[in-house]
Amino acid sequence: MHSASYTKRHMYNFFVTSQEGAWESAGYEYERGRFLEYTSEEIASRFQELKERQVASLLELPCLFAYEGKAGTMRVGRLIKLRLRPRTLYIEFKLDENVPPIPFAKVMPLQMALDIRDWELSRTHWAIKDEDLLGILKSHGVIPARVAARQRISKADLPPVSPPGLRIESVGDFVNIVIGLNDGSTEVFYRGHSNRAKYRLEPSLFRKDDRGNLKHLHAEDTMCRELLVSNANDFKEDVYTLDKLVRMQHYSLPTRLMDITSNPLIALFFACVSNPTELGEVIVFEMDTSQVRYFDSDTASCIANLSRLPASSKAEIDYSIANVREFNKKSAVKRLLHFIKEEKPFFEPRIRPHDLRSVLCVKGRHTNNRISFQSGAFLLFGQDATLDESGSEEIAVKRIAVANKQQVLRELDPTLHPF
C-alpha cells in the first residue's frame, strides 16, 4: 500500500509570457493582476495574501515556463526568489539543466493532464496547477526519468486562509470599532462582503470562475456596446464614459468599477443580507484626501475609456515605454485618446502609462436612487490593476469580520434597505 505522502499530487507553477527570451534571463516581473489566473478558487484563496508561508510554498513547487503561442519551447525549473513590489511580482528562477527545451508539440497531447487550457497560451500570466508536472512528463517520456522530484505539496499542505482580526456580533460593537478607526484626518470608505472567504477586492469585470478562468474581461467592449444599443435612452444624458459605467452597474453589467460607500452601516447591511451561515466582512478603505478624484477627473476618463477598447487593442499597449510622448504616439493609445476626446475635446495627448494601470478612488454623480442610497463612490481599476488584499501604499485596508448576521440585521434600522 502506498503511503499518504507518496499519493499526494504535486502542484506546480505555470508561467506564460509574450516577452521573447524572458526565460533565458535570471528574472522576470509579472503584473499582480496576472497572478492566479487559470488557478482553481480553492488554491487561489490560499494565496490572496503573499506572506512568508505562502511565498515559501511557491518556492517549493516545480515550474513550467512557456511562451505565448504554440510554436515555441517550454522549460522546466524552479523558483529561487520572489520579491513583492507595489504593483508587480518579481521572480528569480533557475532552469533545470538536466531537461532540454521541450517543443510544444510534445506537451500538446498532455495539456488536459497538466490542466493547460488552449486560451492560456495566448495570455501572459502565472497560474498554480493542481497536477504532478514532473510525474506526468516523466511517465510520457517527455523528460528524463533521472530528473529529481521535489518535495510533494498538495492542497492540504497549503497555508490556511488568514483568520479574521477584528470581529463583531452586534451593531454596537461595529460602531465602536468604526469610531476608533477614523480620526478624521483621512478619507474613509467601506464595502460589505457577505462571505469573507469567497469575495476579493476586485471589480466584477475581473472575476474568475471556480477554475480561475476570466469570465468577462475579454468581452468588455462588446458587453458595453450591446447594453448601450439596447438601452440607448437610459444613457443619453451621460456625459462621460465613467457616468455610463456607473449606470451599467445598475444593470448588473460587469465593469471595472467596485462599489464602496462612505456610510459604514450600508456596508454592514451588505455584509449581512445574504449567505446567513457564512462569516461576513466589512472592509475599511483609508486614504489621503488627495487620492480621491471626482467624476470629471482626467485620469478617471483615461481608465474608464479602456472599456471601449477591444481586447486586442488593450493587449497592444506597451507599458514599458517610459517616455510619455512616445507612449501617446502608439496606435492603440491613439485610439484610446480618440475616445477620451469625444467627451473632453481639449484633452491633450499626455496619458501616462502608470495611470492606466492604477486603482483610483472616484466619487461619482448620484444619477440614480441606488447610487444615492449607497453614498456612491467607486474604486476604478485600470488595465491589469489589482488592490492587494492587505492594501497598498495609497489605500490602507482593514477588515472587520461579521458574525451573528440575523441579529445584526434586526438591530439595523429597518429603513436601511436599498430596494
pLDDT tens-digit series, residues 41-69: 889 988 988 889 899 999 999 999 999 98
pLDDT at 418 over 80: no
Contact in structure between 279 and 164 (CB atoms under 8 Å): yes
pLDDT of residue 3: 35
Chain CA centroid to CA 329, Å: 29
Query: What pLDDT sits at residue 367?
Result: 63
E strands present in 179-334: 187-193, 257-261, 280-287, 292-294
Q: Which three cell numbers stand for residue 372?
A: 444615492
**pTM of this structure:** 0.84
pLDDT at residue 158, rounded to an integer: 75
Average pLDDT score, the chain: 89
Quote the cell numbers at residue 24.
533565458
The answer to whether the CB of 389 falls within 8 A of the CB of 321 is: no
Q: Are 142 and 107 within 8 A, CB to CB?
A: yes
pLDDT at 71: 72
Q: What confidence category does residue 314 fall into, taking pLDDT thresholds of 50, 70 and 90?
A: very high
Which tens digits make up the pLDDT trace of 1-56?
A: 333 333 445 899 999 999 999 999 989 999 988 999 999 988 998 898 888 989 99
**Taking residues 101-127, what's their average pLDDT?**
93
* Interval 319-361: pLDDT, tens: 989 999 999 999 999 999 999 999 999 999 999 999 999 999 9
pLDDT at residue 372 greater than cutoff 80: no
341, 331 Cβ separation under 8 angstroms:
no
